[in-house]
Structure formats: C-alpha cells, structure tokens
Amino acid sequence: MGWLVIRIVLAVVATTSIALLARLEGVQARELATASGPITIAAAPAGMASPRCEQLIVEARDALDNHLIADTHGAPDADGACSYTLTVPAQSAVWIHVRPALVSSVTTAPSTQNAGVPAGTNGTAGASRPDHVPSARSVQIRWTVISPNTYFFNPGEAKTIPLSY
C-alpha cells in the first residue's frame, strides 16, 4: 500500500511540473509584441548628406528607467523603402526612436587627464568631497514620462509605427 501512494504522489508531482513549465513558456511568448514600420529619411540640409537606411538604428527603451530593451538597424524592404522590426515587451511603456549609428555604444574608461588632482576641485559633476559620504540608504523614485514616442503594447500585438529621421 505504501509503495502505491508514493507512485501516485510522484506521478502527480511530475504531471504538475510539466504543466507548469508548459504554461510558463506559453505566458512568456504571449508577453511579447512586435513593433515594425517604415522609416522616413528627410532631406539633409545643403552641404550635408542624409544617412543611408543601414546607418540608422531603431531603439526601444523602457520608459521607466530608459534602459535599452532592443535595437535594430534599418533595412530596405522589398519595395526599397527603409523599414525596421523589433520585439518589445507587452504591457509596459516603451519609447521607440530612431538615431544615426554614428557613435559606438562601447563604454570607455574614465579619463585620467586630471590624475593627481584632488576630488571635487576640478569641477567635475558628481565628484565626492572628503567630508561628504553618500548615504547607503537612498530612495529612488521612478516616473514614466509619456511622450509622443511612448507606446503600450498588448501581448502578442503587432503594431505598425512609422518613424522619421
């Protein structure tokens, strides 16, 4: 009798685990949305050249803390028009904008040109003073800034958002 109860409990645990994993995979897939659309490139001022489609980067950033969610380069579609496609999280505020790919996103080390200068005397922002210790207990308040380039997506939604540069 004891062996039968153990087998039943193990079968229930295994079945429940498989069902939960399958449900989690389905929920994660449904929590994404797709943003795509054309990118209109305006004529450059006299003496300057407009960027090519491949030189443009479309970024999706979280509207709460501006961290990068996704990015992609523009690409010519079948008609030759510049377009993009991004996968973004659903049910959250997302900023989508286009920029030229002129600056590398590699983080560089801080400059050492002022080596040997005491902190706080060279006019740098945020330099600490020897008599001031930042508090380890701080409160961070987050605000969602709603702007014309803030979008909300429903799970599984495919939204067309035209952009211009």
Q: Under a CB-based contact definition with an 8 Å cutoff, are residues 36 and 158 in contact?
A: yes
Predicted local confidence at residue 161, as pLDDT? 92
Give the domain 32-103+146-165 fold: Immunoglobulin-like (2.60.40)
Kindly tell me the sign of the dihedral angle through the C-alpha atoms of 18, 21, 25, 28. positive
Return the higher-pLDDT residue of 65 and 96: 96
Predicted local confidence at residue 142, as pLDDT? 56
Predicted local confidence at residue 38, as pLDDT? 95
Predicted local confidence at residue 1, as pLDDT? 63
Asked if pLDDT for residue 120 goes beyond 70, the answer is: no
Share of the chain above pLDDT 90, in %: 29
Q: What is the pLDDT of residues 66-119, one digit of tens each?
A: 889 999 999 998 888 999 999 999 988 899 999 888 654 444 444 444 444 444
* pLDDT range class, residue 129, cuts 50, 70, 90: low
- Please tell me the distance from the alpha carbon of residue 165 to that of residue 161, in angstroms, as a whole number: 13
Strands annotated E in 90-133: 93-100
Neighbours of 155 (CB within 10 A): 13
Predicted local confidence at residue 22, as pLDDT? 56
Question: Which of 68, 99, 94 minimizes the C-alpha distance to 84?
Answer: 99
Return the higher-pLDDT residue of 135 and 65: 65
Predicted local confidence at residue 88, as pLDDT? 92
DSSP three-state, residue 153: coil
Annotated domain spans of the chain: 1-30, 32-103+146-165
Predicted local confidence at residue 21, as pLDDT? 60
